[in-house]
């Protein structure tokens, strides 16, 4: 009965979305405030309906209602409660329900928090948001109904894939979806602005908080997925350039670009058509990612059942939403007029460079991901494009970006005037650094790359600290003591930017250490034996049988001490699990983190005579990957908390802030 | 659910694939101690080669990472070839001759992949050209508008340039 | 000129969407990897016999450009492989009805298990090569089980199927090729 209520609620949500898509848009076109007003209750009602549907499905999972096909296929009565709940979105149908629910959530957020938006813009935005909802609700109801019954009901379910039964992955999809779908708001704002034919500083100011919100969650989602791969897959990598990882990374790159270009729109009233295009493309790439995951077009995506009918349905949705918005763009964007001016060497100029490089990076990842498909269609050749390609192309684009990232925030707005002499010196300095870098690589090989990685990271931290200090001590008249006090009164946006940029630096250092400086040892060991690696002595204490709620495990316990020391030490537990229902195996790496490194141990097969294959790593700076990511998310949210206060007051940048202390960084 | 799906390709994809074909019974763990070569330099070469060879049955892992049986067989094959005195390139060619270019995770540069390898440079270059013309357009607009600024525009311009403009100068 | 620039994103998207549509509607299953050996001569590998009373096979058992022989099917199988069991009746029927010789390539198997398997299910093979270590199958470019290769009279591989044979596939892909080869010869 509850499943039927869920199904009915979804249908009702579709009705509301249809209503919300048509009436407010017509109202805005005809200047009918009452019609426009209807968007708000419709958006909130749609969210309410979908929450009911979502709760209904969750209930079916929690109570292990095996008369619902979706529960049978993805759950098991023995599963811990957390994974019963996360099982809701651990499959195609349920994750689509989550997707549309988050979409409705954002619609409702715009309705509630956008009280001060111009009514026309708000009505149109909500209407576009509802159009997306109509498409995806139709898709869910027609091809992927999560509430389908199974009669007769079996006694037990087939269990959720064991790899998904993990705290990291339980929250990875919701985070990522909030990110992906959050970009829909920005998309809707862009389409609404194109329909209105008006993009100005105020528009940029409306859009930036939503971009920040989506970006923060997207960052968190990607980092969680990466963290999971790091400890669950047992060979210590954190990023694989897999097509589906790329599908989440491309929207992130464009969202990052958008975050920065929106500043230029807000400050200088220019770069509008580009920003609109970024807003459309960021969400479009999220949609394309969804398509790639669910259509079976690419090879990595088989975990979701790939059904060609579903693929064609999503492709139609893509064609309508992306094709439609880009057609609208081609038609309306040329009429947008640019306002303000700035010199190439200025903060805005640096932001343009940031956009150029981020867009080129996104384009490279896109082409690398889809090239095998294109080539096969054109020539019939089947090739692979793997990590070596992406490392060789992506990193060289990132290095200038990271260097510019250090300089950008230090540049004055509008026009930077580096004195002539200094400019020449800069060129000499850049040349010297480049030569040093090339020499380092030539002489030291991999270590040379590591040196470059750390140099870039140190540069970023140094530049961010300088920038922050200069903000606190704008002139020599401010004493150092005062400046220190002022540091804490700087706006949250200012701190947010610094935190995010330092976060990038820490991730760069972490990635450098983890990728280039890892020590590895694969060997056979008996319990009680000790092996050494990278200055640490690993002792395999014992291997025991362990039992989890729905799995059996072989658990290896290691004690790790610094070489030459006795006693104490860090204990690592590595497991190999076999899940009862599916018979599938997973590995759980034993990881011991400290500030400067991870110790990483994996236990493998027994050789039948008391020995075990073990795989050990010492990964310098690995924890920095997650610390840096967390700092980036924190920076985004800090900046967002500042922005929220200002949402209601879009003031012209030129006339504002004689009173406000230091201006917000962006 | 990106990386989730992707990593599943290793395990689940294999499971799904098994409905269609069977994969040899698989001992777990990627590179195993008993396959490693005694000579560390030779073993290092084998690792370098196998990191760039795709595991065909798992589709998105290198044979160095994969615990599939075929990956293990190929790793052993690579070590045998090296022991017989093959160069790294010869080993790669040997594999390509049997499994096609598809096994190379690092696509070789040739006519069909020129666009792929050229893409980053082309994108950055096209972007730079676009930015250059855009700036030049901006400059020309100022030059054209320069002498005929209205009073209002003058005022706005000066307010924008003025050092007193705290917001812009911060 | 400027207008065309604004049409560019739409144009690019249409091209990409076109590729997606093509792949969805006409594309091959992305998991199937075409054999690099098609058009090439069979590998040189010599395979020892599985059974005492039936020979193994090697390069000399296939034709060559100088000395053409009858076309041959090579069927890779193993007793541990479920799909092999499923396709076995069809392989048997092919060997009988199409009067084409089928060579079996038993891979990564235990000899006794393989012999038992053949005793239970029947042995349609003209020759059976035994590859317990799974080395020869690497030369053949095998990556899943079962696999079936069609070799022409000149000893070149002309067709490969990964996965079990089934009637529709035999009818559609295999028989026309076998008949064409026989017509030539």
Mean pLDDT lowest for which of A91-105, A108-122, A473-487, A496-510? Answer: A473-487
Q: Report which listed range, A7-21, A401-415, B67-81, C25-39, is most confident.
A: A7-21
Nearest to A319 among C9, C17, C27 (CB): C17
For C40-91, write each residue's pLDDT tens digit.
Answer: 899 988 999 999 989 999 988 998 888 888 899 999 999 988 889 989 999 9
Structurally, chain A folds into a number of domains equal to 3
Q: Report which listed range, A117-126, A236-245, A337-346, A402-411, is most confident.
A: A117-126
Q: How far apart are CA A349 and CA A338, in angstroms?
A: 16
For B117-163, write each residue's pLDDT tens digit.
Answer: 999 999 999 999 999 988 887 766 655 544 444 555 556 655 665 54
Look over chain A and give the mean of its residue pLDDT values, rounded to a whole number: 87
Residue in A closest to C34 by C-alpha: A382
pLDDT at site B3: 39
- Which residues are CB-neighbours of B116 under 8 A, at least 6 positions away? A367, A368, A371, A385, A389, B107
pLDDT above 90 coverage of chain C, percent: 42
CB-side neighbour CA atoms (13 Å) of A407: 18
- C-alpha distances in angstroms, A222 versus A368, A396, B2? 19, 22, 8
Assigned domain for A105 exists: yes
Q: How far apart are CA B69 and CA A585, in angstroms?
A: 15
Partners of chain A (3+ Cβ pairs below 8 A): B, C
For C154-167, write each residue's pLDDT tens digit.
Answer: 999 999 888 888 88
B2-108 homologous superfamily: Cytochrome C biogenesis protein (1.10.8.640)
For C112-129, write each residue's pLDDT tens digit.
Answer: 999 999 999 999 999 999
Q: Is A542 helix (H, G, I), strand (E, B) or coil?
A: strand
Overall CATH class of domain C32-184: alpha beta
Q: How far apart are CA B9 and CA A245, in angstroms?
A: 12
A377 at the C interface (CB within 8 A)?
Answer: yes
Is residue A506 located within the same domain as residue A562?
no
Is residue A117 located within the same domain as residue A27?
yes
Assigned domain for A354 exists: no
C80 at the B interface (CB within 8 A)?
Answer: yes
Is residue A510 located within the same domain as residue A560?
no
Is residue A42 located within the same domain as residue A161?
yes
Is residue A571 located within the same domain as residue A456?
no
Q: How far apart are CA C106 and CA C132, in angstroms?
A: 8
Phi/psi for A383 (5° steps) reads -125, 170
Q: Select from A65, A67, A18, A64 the least CA-distant residue to A42.
A: A18
Is residue A631 located within the same domain as residue A573?
no
Q: Is A655 helix (H, G, I), strand (E, B) or coil?
A: coil
pLDDT at site A651: 41
Assigned domain for A635 exists: yes
Q: Per-residue confidence at A360, pLDDT binned at 50, 70, 90? A: very high
- Chain B residue set in contact with C, beta carbons under 8 Å: 13, 17, 20-25, 56-57, 59, 69-70, 73-74, 77, 96-102
For A197-210, write each residue's pLDDT tens digit.
Answer: 888 888 998 899 99
For A595-614, write each residue's pLDDT tens digit.
Answer: 999 999 998 888 888 889 89
Structural domain boundaries, residue A503: 418-517+623-646
Using the predicted structure, report yes or no on whether residue B169 has a pLDDT greater than 90: no
A383 at the C interface (CB within 8 A)?
Answer: no
Q: How far apart are CA A352 and CA B147, in angstroms?
A: 28
Is residue A16 located within the same domain as residue A113?
yes
Q: Per-residue confidence at A44, pLDDT binned at 50, 70, 90? A: very high
| Contact check, Cβ <8 Å, A228/B138 | no
| Contact check, Cβ <8 Å, C36/B96 | yes
| Contact check, Cβ <8 Å, A312/C25 | yes
Q: Per-residue confidence at A422, pLDDT binned at 50, 70, 90? A: low
Calculate mean pLDDT across residues A423-428.
70
Calculate mean pLDDT across residues A346-365.
93
Q: How far apart are CA C122 and CA C135, in angstroms?
A: 26
Assigned domain for A364 exists: no
**Neighboring chain B residues of A89 at a CB cutoff of 8 Å:** 1
Lookup result for tokens 């309508």? A320
Using the predicted structure, report yes or no on whether residue B21 has a pLDDT greater than 70: no
Assigned domain for A125 exists: yes
Is residue A557 located within the same domain as residue A545?
yes
Q: Report which listed range, A52-66, A302-316, A558-572, B66-80, is most confident.
A: A52-66
Q: Per-residue confidence at A195, pLDDT binned at 50, 70, 90? A: very high
**Neighboring chain A residues of B14 at a CB cutoff of 8 Å:** none
- Which residues are CB-neighbours of A657 under 8 A, at least 6 positions away? A651, A663, B166, B167
Cβ pair C106, C50 in contact under 8 A: yes
- Which residues are CB-neighbours of A461 under 8 A, at least 6 positions away? A502, A505, A506
Look over chain C and give the mean of its residue pLDDT values, rounded to a whole number: 88
Cα A342–chain centre separation: 32
Evaluated on CA atoms A616, A621, A625, A630, the torsion sign reads: positive
Burial class (CB in 10 A: 0-12, 13-18, 19+), A513: buried
pLDDT at site B153: 56
Is residue A446 located within the same domain as residue A540?
no
Q: How far apart are CA A580 and CA A157, in angstroms?
A: 12
Is residue A608 located within the same domain as residue A640?
no
Is residue A600 located within the same domain as residue A583?
yes
A71 compared with B16, residue with greater pLDDT:
A71
Is residue A627 located within the same domain as residue A492?
yes
Please give, rounded to a whole number of angstroms, the shortest distance from the CA of B127 to a CA of chain C. 13
**Disruptive mutation site among C2, C6, C141, C143 for chain A (greatest number of A CBs within 10 Å):** C6
Lookup result for tokens 């048997």? C92
Q: Per-residue confidence at A212, pLDDT binned at 50, 70, 90? A: very high
Partners of chain B (3+ Cβ pairs below 8 A): A, C
**Neighboring chain C residues of B98 at a CB cutoff of 8 Å:** 36-37, 138-141
């Amino acid at each position: 009965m509850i499943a039927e209520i869920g199904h009915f609620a979804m249908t009702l949500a579709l009705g509301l979305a249809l209503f919300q898509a048509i009436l407010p848009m017509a109202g805005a076109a005809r200047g009918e405030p009452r019609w426009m007003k209807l968007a708000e209750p419709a958006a909130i009602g749609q969210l309410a309906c979908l929450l009911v549907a979502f709760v209904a499905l969750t209930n079916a999972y929690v109570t292990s209602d095996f008369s619902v096909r979706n529960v049978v296929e993805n759950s098991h009565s023995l599963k811990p409660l957390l994974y019963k709940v996360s099982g809701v979105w651990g499959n195609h149908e349920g994750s689509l329900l989550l997707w549309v629910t988050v979409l409705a959530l954002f619609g409702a957020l715009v309705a509630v928090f956008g009280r001060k938006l111009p009514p026309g813009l708000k009505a149109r935005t909500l209407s576009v948001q509802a159009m997306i909802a109509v498409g995806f609700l139709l898709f869910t109801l027609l091809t992927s109904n999560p509430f389908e019954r199974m009669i007769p009901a079996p006694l037990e379910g087939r269990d959720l894939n064991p790899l998904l039964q993990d705290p990291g992955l339980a929250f990875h999809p919701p985070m990522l979806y909030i990110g992906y779908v959050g970009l829909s708001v920005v998309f809707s704002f862009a389409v609404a602005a194109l329909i209105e034919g008006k993009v100005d500083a105020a528009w940029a100011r409306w859009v930036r908080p939503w971009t920040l919100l989506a970006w923060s969650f997207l960052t968190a989602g990607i980092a969680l997925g990466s963290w999971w791969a790091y400890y669950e897959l047992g060979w210590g990598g954190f990023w694989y350039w897999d097509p589906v990882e790329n599908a989440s990374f491309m929207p992130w790159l464009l969202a990052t670009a958008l975050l920065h270009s929106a500043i230029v729109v807000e400050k200088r009233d220019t770069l509008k058509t580009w920003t609109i295009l970024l807003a459309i493309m960021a969400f479009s790439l999220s949609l394309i990612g969804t398509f790639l995951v669910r259509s079976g077009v690419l090879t990595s995506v088989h975990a979701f059942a790939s059904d060609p009918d579903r693929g064609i349905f999503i492709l139609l949705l893509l064609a309508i939403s992306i094709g439609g918005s880009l057609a609208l763009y081609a038609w309306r964007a040329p009429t947008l007029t640019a306002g303000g001016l700035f010199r190439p060497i200025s903060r805005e100029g640096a932001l343009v460079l940031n956009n150029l490089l981020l867009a080129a990076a996104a384009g490279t990842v896109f082409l690398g991901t889809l090239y095998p498909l294109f080539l096969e269609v054109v020539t019939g050749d089947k090739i692979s494009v793997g990590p070596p390609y992406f490392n060789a192309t992506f990193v060289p684009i990132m290095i200038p970006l990271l260097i510019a990232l250090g300089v950008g925030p230090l540049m004055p707005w509008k026009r930077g005037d580096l004195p002539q002499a200094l400019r020449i010196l800069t060129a000499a300095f850049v040349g010297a650094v480049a030569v040093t870098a090339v020499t380092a690589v030539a002489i030291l090989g991999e270590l040379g790359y590591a040196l470059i990685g750390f140099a870039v990271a140190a540069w970023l931290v140094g530049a961010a600290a300088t920038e922050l200090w200069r903000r606190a001590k704008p002139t020599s008249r401010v004493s150092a003591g005062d400046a220190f006090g002022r540091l804490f009164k700087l706006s949250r946006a200012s701190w947010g930017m610094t935190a995010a940029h330092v976060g990038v630096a820490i991730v760069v250092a972490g990635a450098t250490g983890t990728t280039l400086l890892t020590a590895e040892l694969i060997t056979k060991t008996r319990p009680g034996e000790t092996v050494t690696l990278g200055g640490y002595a690993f002792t395999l204490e014992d291997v025991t049988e362990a039992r989890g709620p729905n799995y059996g495990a072989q658990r290896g316990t290691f004690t790790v001490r610094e070489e030459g020391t006795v006693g104490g030490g860090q204990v690592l537990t590595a497991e190999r699990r076999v899940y009862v229902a599916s018979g599938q195996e997973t590995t759980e790496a034993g990881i011991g983190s400290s500030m400067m490194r991870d110790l990483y141990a994996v236990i493998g097969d027994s050789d039948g005579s008391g020995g075990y294959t073990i795989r050990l790593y010492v990964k310098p700076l690995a924890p920095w990957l997650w610390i840096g990511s967390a700092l980036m998310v924190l920076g985004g949210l800090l900046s967002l908390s500042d922005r929220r206060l200002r949402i209601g007051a879009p003031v012209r940048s030129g006339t504002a802030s004689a009173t406000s202390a230091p201006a917000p960084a962006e | 659910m990106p990386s989730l799906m992707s990593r599943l390709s290793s395990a689940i994809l294999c499971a799904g694939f098994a409905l269609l074909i069977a994969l040899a019974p698989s001992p777990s763990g990627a590179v195993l101690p008993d396959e490693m070569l005694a000579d560390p330099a030779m073993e290092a070469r084998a690792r370098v080669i196998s990191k760039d060879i795709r595991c065909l049955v798992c589709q998105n892992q290198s044979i160095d990472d994969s615990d599939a049986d075929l990956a293990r067989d190929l790793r052993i094959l690579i070590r045998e070839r090296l022991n017989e005195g093959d160069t790294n390139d010869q080993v790669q060619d040997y594999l390509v001759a049997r499994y096609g270019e598809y096994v190379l995770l690092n696509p070789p540069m040739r006519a069909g992949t020129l666009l792929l390898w050229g893409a980053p440079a082309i994108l950055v270059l096209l972007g730079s050209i676009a930015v250059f013309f855009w700036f030049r357009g901006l400059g020309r607009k100022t030059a054209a508008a320069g002498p005929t600024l209205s009073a209002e525009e003058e005022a706005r311009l000066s307010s924008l340039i003025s050092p007193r403009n705290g917001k812009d100068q911060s | 000129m400027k207008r065309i620039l604004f049409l560019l994103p739409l144009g690019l998207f249409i091209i990409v969407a076109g590729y997606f549509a093509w792949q969805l509607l006409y594309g091959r299953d992305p998991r199937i990897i075409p054999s690099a050996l098609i058009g090439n001569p069979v590998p040189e590998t010599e395979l020892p016999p599985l059974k005492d009373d039936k020979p193994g096979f090697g390069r000399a058992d296939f034709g060559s450009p100088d000395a053409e022989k009858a076309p041959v099917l090579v069927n890779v199988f193993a007793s541990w492989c479920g799909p092999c069991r499923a396709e076995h009746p069809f392989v048997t029927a092919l060997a009988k009805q199409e009067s084409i010789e089928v060579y079996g390539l038993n891979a990564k198997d235990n000899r006794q298990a393989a012999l038992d398997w053949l005793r239970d299910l029947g042995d349609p093979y003209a020759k059976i090569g035994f590859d317990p270590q799974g080395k020869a199958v690497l030369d053949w470019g095998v990556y899943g089980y079962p696999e079936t290769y069609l070799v022409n009279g000149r000893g070149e591989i002309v067709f490969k199927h990964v996965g079990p044979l089934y009637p529709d596939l035999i009818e559609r892909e295999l028989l026309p090729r076998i008949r064409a080869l026989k017509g030539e010869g």
